[in-house]
């Protein structure tokens, strides 16, 4: 199906809105009361770092398309595209993902046999110059950050929790200490199971805080605006998270903190919201319906913990052209159908998740660009609050949100059923605490449905969704 057909499919309104699932008003009122906590309340109290991400961060991450192999020219090409096509819509971060400090990377996986690390005399990783030529002459990522900043964008990097094994083995000194070396702050316990570049840092050891301070001081000198820390949210390493929070704060630079991978334990919600700007709810989300379907089960459990500056994270967006040299599968366009792609973006945006696109931006087609720049959807993503699940069962997922300063409500409806199972549904306005008559707009198509009486009725194909704005 070509792009024109894709766009036509987004704008169609199916006739004969038959109702075979009429949900009693009383049931909807009951369900809406099951999540009474304001999803925009700040569960952790106000902290300065939360002002650094007043709305969910939006950007590009190199992982889905380049895995651990991304090069400087590819980062710049994606930054150029973002500056021209996406920045007016609020997209701003360019993030270099995993293992930027390894010279001999390997597409489709990690070279853990004979990796050639680049590291400084204080045990701090540096960019591999064969991949990032501007890092020569001890400049690190500063020239690349300057390039990105000159375009009005922000620059981010990925790191692994802990201290490099190489620094431990060489007993490298820790900057800012009097004679403490890396072998005095590590433990092999809790080492990452899937990538063994680093050891755990023992938070109680002298020099532990100073090591984290030293790497974040370096990142601040480079001009880093965003750091994604991996192998820290599952299992949940509370002590190292606190070391990192302090290390960022002491730099004096507003560096947004992202924690990976998921699932972050729900019983750590208060702690993570008090220390990070965003954290993963699930493991990696790839371009298959089961990945998205699992996220639909997990994301609603985090809605009570959404707060300004602290955002539960759905993971990267696996749309467009992905896996050019990625971890899973061949170079391809996203395997999600057009309806599934719309459902993914609907879930991410109404859930107020950070939006980090995983595909190669210069390879975008018109459908992908349309999904990334719909102004009404992005306005909802930025401004809406009080995110609540109204219905969640094996057939459908229904989510609502509210605009904080006017009387606008948003309604997302998802058909969770598989091929051959269309869904006809009616949602009474009374169950949404709305008057009997509402002006309704379907946001993805920008189709005005006019004033509807009593309810919204719609028909959804399998794996499809609709996103509505309702005004009084």
CA neighbor of 258 nearest in space, from 351, 186, 327, 355 = 355
Whole-angstrom Cα distance, residue 98 to residue 215? 16
Backbone angles phi, psi at 343, to 5 degrees: -65, -40
User: Given this model, what pLDDT does residue 326 score?
Assistant: 84
Q: Which residue, of 338, 373, 408, is where some domain finishes?
A: 373
Residue 408 φ/ψ, nearest 5 degrees: -80, 140
In this predicted model, what pLDDT tens digit does every residue of 66-103 receive, in sequence order?
999 999 999 999 999 999 999 999 999 999 999 999 99
CA 383, CA 386: separation in Å to the nearest integer? 10
How do beta strands 154-160 and 163-164 pair? unpaired
Distance separating alpha carbons of residues 81 and 365, to the nearest angstrom = 13
Claim to verify: residue 336 and residue 409 sit in the same structural domain: no
Query: Could you report the per-residue pLDDT of 232-282, keeping only the tens digit for each?
Result: 999 999 999 999 999 999 999 999 999 999 999 999 999 999 999 999 999
Q: What is the DSSP string of 200-235?
A: EE-TTSTTHHHHHHHHHHHHHHHT--EEEEESSBTT
Q: How far apart are CA 128 and CA 118, in angstroms?
A: 6
- Give the residue numbers spanning the domain of 77: 48-373
Residue 1 pLDDT? 40
8-state DSSP, 304: G
Q: Which residue has the tokens 């991410």?
A: 348
pLDDT at 9 over 50: no
pLDDT tens per residue across span 434-463: 888 999 999 999 999 999 999 999 999 999
In a domain, 315, yes or no: yes
- Whether the per-residue pLDDT at 30 is higher than 90: the answer is no
Residues 62 and 8 in one domain: no
24 exposure class (CB count in 10 Å sphere: 0-12, 13-18, 19+): exposed
Q: What is the mean pLDDT of residues 10-24?
A: 35
Instruction: For residue 385, tell me if it sits in a domain.
Output: no
pTM, two decimal places: 0.90
Cα–Cα distance measured from residue 465 to residue 10, given in angstroms and rounded to the nearest whole number = 10
Tally of CB atoms within 10 A around 200: 20
Say what percent of the chain tops pLDDT 70.
90
Q: Are residues 185 and 105 in the same domain?
A: yes
Report the alpha-carbon angle 84-89-90, nearest 5: 100
**CA 65, CA 368: separation in Å to the nearest integer?**
15
**121 lies in some domain:** yes
Whether 273 is covered by a domain: the verdict is yes
Residue 162 placed within a domain: yes
Does pLDDT of 5 surpass 90? no
Same-domain pairing of 308 and 410 = no
Q: What's the domain count of the chain?
A: 2
Q: Is the pLDDT of residue 36 over 80?
A: no
Helix (H) or strand (E) holding 240: helix 238-251
Helix (H, G, I), strand (E, B) or coil at 444: coil
CATH number at residue 333: 3.20.20.70
201 and 234 part of one domain: yes
312 and 232 housed in the same domain = yes
Q: How far is CA 179 from CA 172, 210, 463, in A?
A: 10, 12, 60
Tokens of 320: 């467009």
Residue after which a domain boundary falls, among 319, 338, 373: 373
Place of tokens 């990452």: 192
CATH code at position 457:
2.60.40.1180
Q: Quick one: which H or E segment has residue 398?
A: strand 396-402
pLDDT score recorded for residue 46: 66
> Does 248 share its domain with 322?
yes
pLDDT for the residue numbered 149: 98
* Peptide bond before residue 86 is cis, with ω within 30 degrees of 0: no
Question: What single DSSP character describes residue 33?
Answer: T
pLDDT of 402 reads 95
pLDDT at 472: 82
234 and 184, same domain (yes or no): yes
Mean pLDDT of 316-333: 95
If asked whether residues 135 and 213 sit together in one domain, one would say yes
Q: Give the residue from 373, 400, 423 where a domain finishes.
A: 373
**Per DSSP, what are the bridge partners of residue 415?**
396
Do 102 and 200 fall within a single domain?
yes
Position 45 scores a pLDDT of: 54
Whole-number pLDDT of residue 373: 98
* Whether residues 109 and 30 fall in one domain: no
Q: How far, in Å, CA of 470 to CA of 442, rounded? A: 9
CA 177 – CA 291 distance, rounded (Å): 46
- 410 located within any domain: yes
DSSP 119-181: B-TTS-B---TTT-GGGTTTTTTHHHHHHHHHTT-EEEEEEESSEEHHHHHTTPBPTTSSS-B
Residue 382 forms part of a structural domain: no
* 350: pLDDT strictly greater than 50: yes
In the prediction, which pLDDT does 233 show? 98
Query: Domain check: are 123 and 215 in the same one?
Result: yes
Q: What is the CA radius of gyration of the chain?
A: 23
Residue 210 in domain: yes
Q: Evaluate if residue 2 carries a pLDDT over 90.
A: no
Q: How large is the average pLDDT for residues 286-305?
A: 98
Question: How far apart (Å, rounded) are the C-alpha atoms in residues 440 and 409?
Answer: 10
pLDDT tens for each residue of 183-206: 999 999 999 999 999 999 999 999
Provide the greatest CA pair distance for the chain.
77
């Amino acid at each position: 199906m070509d792009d024109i057909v894709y766009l036509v499919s987004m704008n169609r309104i199916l006739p004969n809105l038959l109702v075979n699932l009429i949900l009693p008003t009383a049931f909807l009122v009951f369900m809406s009361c099951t999540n009474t906590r304001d999803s925009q309340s700040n569960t952790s109290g106000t902290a300065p770092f939360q002002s650094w991400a007043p709305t969910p961060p939006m950007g590009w991450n190199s992982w889905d398309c380049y895995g651990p192999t991304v090069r400087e020219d590819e980062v710049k090409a994606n930054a150029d595209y973002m500056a021209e096509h996406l920045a007016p819509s609020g997209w701003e971060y360019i993030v270099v993902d995993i293992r930027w400090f390894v010279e001999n990377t390997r597409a489709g996986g990690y070279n853990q046999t004979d990796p050639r690390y680049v590291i400084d005399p204080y045990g701090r990783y540096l960019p591999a110059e064969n991949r990032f030529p501007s890092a020569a002459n001890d400049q690190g990522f500063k020239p690349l950050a300057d390039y990105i900043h000159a375009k009005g964008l922000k620059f981010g990097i990925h790191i692994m929790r802990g201290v490099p094994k190489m620094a431990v083995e060489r007993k490298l000194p820790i900057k800012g200490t009097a004679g403490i070396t890396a072998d005095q702050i590590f433990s092999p316990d809790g080492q990452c199971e899937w990538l063994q570049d680093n050891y755990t840092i023992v938070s109680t050891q002298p020099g532990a805080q100073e090591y984290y301070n030293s790497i974040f001081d370096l990142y601040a000198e480079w001009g880093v605006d965003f750091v994604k820390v991996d192998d820290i949210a599952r299992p949940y390493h509370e002590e190292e998270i606190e070391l990192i929070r302090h290390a960022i704060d002491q730099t004096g630079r507003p560096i947004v903190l992202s924690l990976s991978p998921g699932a972050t334990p729900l019983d750590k919600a208060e702690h993570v919201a008090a220390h990070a700007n965003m954290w993963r709810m699930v493991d990696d989300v790839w371009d298959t319906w089961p990945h998205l379907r699992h996220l639909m089960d997990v994301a609603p459990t985090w809605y009570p913990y959404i707060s300004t500056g602290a955002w539960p994270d759905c993971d990267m967006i696996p749309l467009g052209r992905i896996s050019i040299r990625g971890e899973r599968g061949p170079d391809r366009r996203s395997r999600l159908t057009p309806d599934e792609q719309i459902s993914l973006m609907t879930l991410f945006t109404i859930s107020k998740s950070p939006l980090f696109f995983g595909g190669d931006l210069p390879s975008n087609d018109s459908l992908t660009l349309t999904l990334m720049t719909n102004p009404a959807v992005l306005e909802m993503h930025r401004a809406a609050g009080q995110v609540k699940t109204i219905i969640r069962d094996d057939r459908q997922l229904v989510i609502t949100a509210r605009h904080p300063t006017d009387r606008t409500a948003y309604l997302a409806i998802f058909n969770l059923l598989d091929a051959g199972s269309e869904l006809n549904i009616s949602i009474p306005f009374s169950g949404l605490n709305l008057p009997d008559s509402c002006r309704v707009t379907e946001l993805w198509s920008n189709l005005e449905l006019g004033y509807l009486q009593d309810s919204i009725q719609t028909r959804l194909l399998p794996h499809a969704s609709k996103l509505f704005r309702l005004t009084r």
